[in-house]
């Protein structure tokens, strides 16, 4: 039978509220250390937290989008543990009465849809940040302390790194669509913990669950899962077992590293937060939030197929991120053929973005300018080949396509008499290629076309060149 991988994920996502969860300090990323905090962030004696209603609203939006049940009564709890960046010595979180319970995210597994069930979604505060210096010292920045989080906990329903990757991608996409988080992993807005173990399906023996903490990219999550799969299987084959521990991913070594063992269950001594009253959430408020949810990725995908008559694959790619979907819709809004726009965005543009590790919103040109480029190609003013050159220039210089075409003299030659003169000249210079073509060597035609294109510096209409050469030879 072999081995079966069992994976559960815990995702922490910072919410995009203007202020923190229990005070009015800004949630803006960056800033000089310890300038975005106040006595409440720092847990100073006498300070009292006041729950930000927007945090609860964003948590409900996430729960509704992931098909969760929203609690009518819930509360905040103190989770007690010591860590230098947890300045109060406890974290205000939720324990036995989370804001959202259940729910699911669908992924593709072996050609069919598979539901990855959620255990819960709850709200809590983020901690500060430890900055370790080369001399062994540690500095603490509490700007992040008190930034609101939702923690999304899955059931251990995933059985491969690919399923986990799809789960994370869909989760990120939905959070961005409903605008509760920017999900910028490079800024720590989205972090992932992986719980993984292996079952020997022949003997039924299971390895002990290992936890990999604070993975800050989907690529790292996939690599960490694949590494742990092999490590667990090898240990089981050797008749050994993994120990209950927390590990971290090392990008340089491409392996997980043990951080600490977890011989005993952590005792967080949860108890209700005494400074925040229990919450009663009305069904009317939940219904209001539900009715105002924006279009979700799957709904947008189905609409793209129907409205723009594009294939399922195209629609899946184009709606994977909210910014990409918007860029596509803004492009076709200029009376552009939806399939032509889809091909160009999914091909040259996404390839270039991947090569440069760039998001579409950071490109140097707009959807309107891309539409202008497509119109130049579609009208025959420039060829497809020239269009690719212009697109490269747009990426690099951020110039308008009309401006690039004018500056570099790239307008396509469509005058048949002008092209005919160049064709005659090339045919006169290459009688042997004419004979080769007549003798069945099709490549000779390509050579002759290439010579005309060279003579015209790439500006002759390729269709006309092919037509005229073929006519004259025959």
Please tell me whether the overall predicted TM-score, pTM, comes out greater than 0.95 for this model. no
Sign of the alpha-carbon torsion through 8, 10, 13, 19 = positive
pLDDT at 465: 77
Q: What angle do CA 404, 405, 410 make, to 5 degrees?
A: 135
pLDDT at 264: 54
pLDDT at 202: 87
What is 69-111 written as a DSSP string?
Answer: EEPSEE--EEEE---TT-TTSEEEE--SS-SEE--EEEEEETT
How long is the chain?
Answer: 474
Contact 94, 59 (CB under 8 A): no
pLDDT tens readout for residues 81-119: 988 889 899 999 999 999 999 999 999 987 889 999 999
Residue 267, Cβ density class (10 Å: 0-12 exposed, 13-18 middle, ≥19 buried): exposed
Residue 206, Cβ density class (10 Å: 0-12 exposed, 13-18 middle, ≥19 buried): middle
pLDDT at 1: 62
- In the predicted model, is pLDDT for residue 76 greater than 60? yes
In the chain, CATH 1.10.10.410 sits at 416-473
CA 171, CA 191: separation in Å to the nearest integer?
12
> In terms of pLDDT, which residue wins out, 301 or 214?
301
> In terms of pLDDT, which residue wins out, 186 or 392?
392
pLDDT band of 299, cuts 50, 70, 90? very high
CB atoms within 10 A of CB 362: 9
pLDDT band of 415, cuts 50, 70, 90? low
The rounded mean pLDDT for the chain is 91
The structure tokens listed for 267 are 């005792």
CA 42, CA 47: separation in Å to the nearest integer?
9
Candidate ranges 204-213, 306-315, 450-459; pick with highest mean pLDDT:
306-315
pLDDT at 262: 66
The structure tokens listed for 323 are 């910014």
CA 27, CA 37: separation in Å to the nearest integer?
10
Q: What is the mean pLDDT of residues 344-349?
A: 94
Could you list the beta-strand ranges (E) of 99-241: 100-101, 104-109, 112-125, 129-132, 138-141, 148-154, 190-200, 210-215
pLDDT tens readout for residues 251-280: 899 999 998 776 555 689 999 999 999 999
pLDDT band of 464, cuts 50, 70, 90? confident
Query: Strand, helix or coil at 160?
Result: coil
CA 50, CA 40: separation in Å to the nearest integer?
9
CA 28, CA 116: separation in Å to the nearest integer?
33
Q: Comparing C-alpha atoms, which of 89, 64, 59 is closest to residue 74? A: 59
- In the predicted model, is pLDDT for residue 12 greater than 70? yes
> In terms of pLDDT, which residue wins out, 311 or 471?
311
Q: What is the percent of the chain where pLDDT is above 90? A: 67
- In the predicted model, is pLDDT for residue 460 greater than 90? no
pLDDT at 120: 98
pLDDT band of 53, cuts 50, 70, 90? very high
> In terms of pLDDT, which residue wins out, 265 or 397?
397
pLDDT tens readout for residues 162-215: 999 999 999 999 999 999 999 988 888 999 999 999 999 988 899 999 999 989
pLDDT at 456: 75
Contact 191, 220 (CB under 8 A): no
Query: Strand, helix or coil at 233?
Result: helix
Check residue 329 and report its DSSP letter. Answer: H
Span 416-473 CATH architecture: Orthogonal Bundle (1.10)
Q: What is the mean pLDDT of residues 37-60?
A: 95
- Name the strand (E) or helix (H) holding 279: strand 279-280
Alpha-carbon distances, residue 133 vs 130, 138, 139, 153, 187 (angstroms): 10, 6, 8, 33, 20
């Amino acid at each position: 039978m072999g081995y079966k991988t069992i994976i559960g994920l815990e995702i922490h996502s910072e919410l995009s509220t203007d202020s923190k969860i229990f005070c009015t300090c800004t949630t803006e990323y960056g800033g000089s250390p310890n300038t975005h905090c106040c006595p409440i962030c720092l847990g100073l004696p006498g300070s009292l937290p006041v729950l930000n209603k927007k945090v609860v609203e964003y948590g409900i939006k996430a729960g509704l989008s992931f098909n969760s049940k929203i609690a009518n009564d819930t509360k905040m709890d103190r989770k007690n543990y010591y860590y230098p960046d947890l300045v109060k010595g406890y974290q205000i979180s939720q324990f036995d009465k989370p804001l959202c319970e259940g729910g699911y995210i669908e992924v593709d597994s072996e050609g069919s849809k598979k539901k990855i069930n959620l255990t819960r979604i709850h709200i809590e505060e983020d901690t500060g940040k430890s900055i370790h210096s080369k001399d062994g010292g540690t500095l603490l920045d509490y700007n992040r302390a008190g930034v609101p989080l939702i923690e999304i906990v899955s059931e251990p329903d995933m059985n491969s790194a690919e399923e986990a990757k799809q789960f994370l991608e869909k989760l990120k996409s939905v959070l961005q669509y409903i605008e509760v988080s920017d999900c910028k992993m490079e800024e720590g807005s989205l972090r992932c913990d992986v719980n993984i173990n292996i079952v020997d399906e022949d003997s039924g023996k299971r390895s002990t669950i290992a936890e990999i903490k604070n993975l800050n990219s989907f690529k790292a999550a996939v690599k960490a899962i694949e590494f742990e799969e092999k490590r667990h299987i090898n240990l089981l084959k050797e008749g050994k077992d993994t120990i209950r521990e927390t590990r971290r991913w090392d990008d340089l070594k491409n392996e997980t590293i043990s951080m600490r063992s977890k011989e005993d269950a952590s005792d967080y001594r949860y108890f209700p937060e005494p400074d925040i009253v229990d919450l009663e959430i009305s069904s009317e408020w939940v219904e209001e939030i539900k009715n105002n949810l924006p279009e979700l990725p799957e709904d947008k995908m189905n609409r793209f197929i129907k409205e723009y008559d594009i294939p399922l694959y195209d629609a899946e790619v184009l709606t994977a991120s909210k910014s990409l979907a918007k860029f596509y819709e803004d492009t076709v809004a200029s009376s552009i053929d939806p399939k032509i726009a889809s091909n160009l965005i999914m091909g040259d543009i996404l390839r270039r973005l991947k090569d440069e590790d760039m998001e579409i919103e950071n490109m140097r040109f707009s959807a309107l300018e891309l539409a202008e480029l497509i119109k130049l190609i579609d009208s025959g003013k420039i060829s497809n080949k020239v269009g690719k050159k212009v697109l490269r220039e747009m990426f690099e210089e951020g110039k308008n396509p009309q401006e690039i075409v004018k500056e570099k003299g790239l307008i396509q030659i469509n005058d048949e008499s002008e092209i005919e003169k160049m064709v005659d000249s090339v045919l006169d210079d290459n009688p042997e290629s004419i004979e080769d073509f007549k003798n069945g060597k099709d490549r000779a035609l390509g050579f002759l076309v290439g010579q005309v294109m060279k003579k015209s510096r790439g500006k002759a209409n390729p269709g006309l060149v092919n037509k005229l050469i073929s006519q004259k030879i025959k």
